[in-house]
Amino acid sequence: MRLLVVEDDPDLNRQLVGALEEAGYVVDSAKDGEEGHFLGDTEPYDAVVLDLGLPEMDGVTVLEKWRRDGKIMPVLILTARDRWSDKVAGFDAGADDYVAKPFFMEEVLARLRALLRRATGHATSELECGSVRVDTRSSRVTVDGRAIKLTSLEYRLLAYMMHHRDRVISRTELVEHLYDQDFDRDSNTIEVFVGRLRRKLGKDVIETVRGLGYRLTAPEDAV
């Protein structure tokens, strides 16, 4: 899953990016509202962490512009603890949730997991597809109850497909949601990692839909 952090405080920006990357996300970041708006307007993010007190363009304006342009990705806003009016303005602009500063990083991670679940129609942190289970809280993957060790990129690919189970996902979409903006999009790494996952999870878990992409389907659901 690919996230955007828009926060002008360099230390907090760095801390957020580090924590999110450690949790298995790929993260782009911006330090002012104009850059943040541009990235959110031109790149396909699964969720955004957006500070409201930004230079160049404030967070409420950024969010209003995104929503006017039809951008529907979940947005978690960061607000000052004593500014309840900022929270109201953020929700009215289209925010999905908020965290008040100062905050515990675990709360940010939990709220983002919840936003990502709701955005893709899942009720719990444990995603299932046949015998494959992914616990998004711990990044633990099991097959028939047996723990499977995945690299960070393998996990990232599997988690995205689990969030979008039974939907055909193009290679382009996978590249856009699993790598940052500097990634070489002509690379064949998606095919490589799909092959690795099939060897670790079972060859029938990921179906190739010729000319369209890949689909994660439980064997008993396959036609």
Same fold, 2-119 and 126-221: no
The pLDDT, as a whole number, for residue 218 is: 74
Contact 6, 33 (CB under 8 A): yes
Q: Which fold is adopted by the domain 2-119?
A: Rossmann fold (3.40.50)
Phi, psi for 55 (deg, rounded to 5): -75, 165
The pLDDT, as a whole number, for residue 83 is: 76
Paired strand residues for 50:
6, 77
Low-confidence ranges of the chain (pLDDT < 50): 222-223
The pLDDT, as a whole number, for residue 178 is: 87
Task: Give the architecture (CATH level 2) of 126-221.
Answer: Orthogonal Bundle (1.10)
The pLDDT, as a whole number, for residue 86 is: 86
The pLDDT, as a whole number, for residue 166 is: 84
What are 168-214's pLDDT values in tens digits?
999 999 988 888 766 666 667 889 999 999 999 988 899 999 989 99
The pLDDT, as a whole number, for residue 204 is: 87
Query: For residue 103, how many other CB atoms are within 10 A of its CB?
Result: 15
Q: Where are the domains of the chain?
A: 2-119, 126-221
